[in-house]
Structure 1
Amino acid sequence: MMVRALFLSLATVALTMTPPVFLHVGSPERGRIWAERLPQMIPGLEVRQWPDVGDPGEIGYVGAWTLPEGLLDGLPNLRFLLSVGAGVDQLDLSVVPDGLPVLRMIDPALAEGMTEYVAAGVLSLHRDLHHYRAAAARGEWAHRPQVRAADRRVGVLGMGRLGQSALTALAPFGFRLSGWARSRHAMPGVDCFAGQEELATFLSDLDILVCLLPLTPETRGILNADLFGALPRGAAIINAGRGAHLVEGDLLAALEEGQIGAAILDVFENEPLPADHPFWRHPAIEVTPHIASATLPASSAMVVAEAIRADLAGAPLPGLVDPKTQY
């Protein structure tokens, strides 16, 4: 109780001082909402919208999806850099000054959206809706055998906040659930696997595989021919992580061979996905235009305010990224 009281006291004192300026780099609409809401939560805070930097020495915080070239070099008093997305792979971390904290967005609405997308995708694959959509387009009345959820194994690559939220949402349907991550996790009702040495075992009995991994040098291209070959024949995949997780040619080959039965893809190496890309016309692939989840301006403003309050109070920063693992 004494520690909490001290923290609240420090936070109160900190918030009576004029805070550094927050610079938003990105959607003007999000910038407008943040400029309206953040000062209501942190009195005295000024929010500027790139490219209106003003006096660079006044900028203490930057929130961005990507960084304009040379921006960070001209901000001598920067206190943290916040990614407006759940990951930081889209940021060029090589230009971030040594020791500058980098934060990722921990927006409840972002996790909720991803959970909805994964649940919808898993249920669609489980109930063969891709088959029925194709049959309907041909005018065919084509039944498929119904399989109980208890007889399906669903596995999630990535057991961070998004992965655990998705697994929790799927549990009430009765699926057999598995999760894999680089480090060891534990979840009630979920068979958890960790590390490269347990990846093949994790994959060996999955009917549906969901990729929610962060993109790092180690996970780039993880959805490849070797991984597809470790899945049971006819398994389906959902990729809502990053486009660079997927080796596109390997997926097309695996679908052609019948090793993979269907795929739902929301993210791609090149976005927007070119109109002539074979994914658009493949009967076993469902494409969505990177809409699985998004940072919502209103809810994310509260996350930004929490991070600034923590900085002003000298408290641990929420969503702090480990520069070694990049998540």
Structure 2
Amino acid sequence: MINVLFAARPERWDTYEQPLRNALNAAGIEANLSQDISPEDVDYIVYAPNSDLQDFTPYTRARAVLNLWAGVEQITGNQTLTIPLARMVDPGLTKGMVEWVTGHVMRYHLGMDAHIVNPSNSWTVTTPPLAEERRVVILGLGALGTACAETLLGLGFQVTGWSRSAKSVEGVNCLHGDAGLALALAEAEILVTLLPDTASTTNIMNAETLAQMPHGAFLINPGRGPLIEDTALLAALDTGQIAHATLDVFRTEPLPQNDPYWAHPQVTVTPHIAAETRASTASQVIVENIRRGEAGEPFLNLVDRALGY
């Protein structure tokens, strides 16, 4: 029997205990799943970075840390963590992100705000372009960015994707590197930021890069709060360089009540709801990695500590 430690906030245990047990049983894995196991006896750690476990030194037998979150920026710098770390790539989370991003892209593409909320009560008729005439750019072509790009491509949009290293997605104009970023931003009528939070992506959307976008462009950020230099975005919104921004993630969460984003008329704030890990599907991902560890197979979704994701 293997020992699987659940190391997350206590309230998450009620959400994950039964789905994890169901997934373990379905995989035929006999396991002791618990929140309380002596460190020297632990084989796998199911982990959330905001848990009390921050020192991995006593876990001398553990084979892998299996993250419950897609984001790993809070753990990659932990010097006591030397065993494999797998990030969460949850099909349920991906589907949720695709639906949220697609919904807000369509909202901007169709100009729905002007039709749904019209304080002047005027009968204003506007005809949006067809999807094939609208250019959407996605920064980040990982699992989430690629899934969003493919869905938007299927709806007929002109889709460009940018990543730091070269990627290839059929039908998507894929760019990379500094020169590629400038080219991507120049055609970003609607920009979706889905990059990880790393030293090289912090404030990637700043005064210079925001100015490279078409005047009156729209920005959607369901990725990470630090991707955006907040003062620069607010200034771009004030001048109309950015027509409107929908923000789901922030440097401080929950977003403080006195934050200027709340009151800005050209900003939509959503409470980090774009993509939530689903316990049922995430548990299957976790257990598949446990199965792989026991079978001597490579773990899925391993984190490159040097890259930070």
TM-score normalised by L of structure 1:
0.88
What are the equivalent positions in structure 2 for 1:1-327 lying under 5 Å apart? 18-26=1-9, 27-40=12-25, 41-49=27-35, 53-66=36-49, 67-68=51-52, 70-91=54-75, 93-98=77-82, 100-135=83-118, 137-327=119-309
Q: Is the CA contact 2:71–2:87 (under 8 Å) kept in the aligned structure 1?
A: yes
Deviations 1:112-153 (A, max 9, x none): 111101100100010112333442x45443333422212110
Count of aligned pairs: 305
Which amino acid letter does the alignment assign opposite residue 93 of structure 2?
A: L
SS at match of 1:81: strand
Give, in whole Å, the separation in 1 of the partners of 2:153 and 2:216: 23
Whole-Å separation in 1 of the counterparts to 2:219 and 2:179: 21
Structure 1: runs of 5+ lacking an equivalent: 1-17
Letter in 2 for 1:63: V
Cα 1:36–1:94, aligned 2, differ >3 Å: closer, same or farther? Answer: closer
Give the unaligned 5+ runs of structure 2: none
Measure the CA separation in 2 of the matches of 1:228 and 1:90: 27
Contact map agreement 1:22 1:61 (CA 8 A) in 2: yes
What amino acid maps onto 2:167 in structure 1?
A: H
Over residues 42-63 of structure 1, what are the superposed CA-to-partner deviations in whole Å (9 max), with x where a residue is unaligned? 43211112xxx23221112112
- Larger deviation: 233-242 or 34-43? 34-43
CA offsets, 1:86-128, max 9 Å, x none?
1211325323433x10100121111111110110010001011
SS at match of 2:174: strand
The separation in 1 between residues aligned to 2:261 and 2:212, in whole angstroms, is 23
Moved runs in structure 1, 4+ residues, more than 6 A? Answer: none
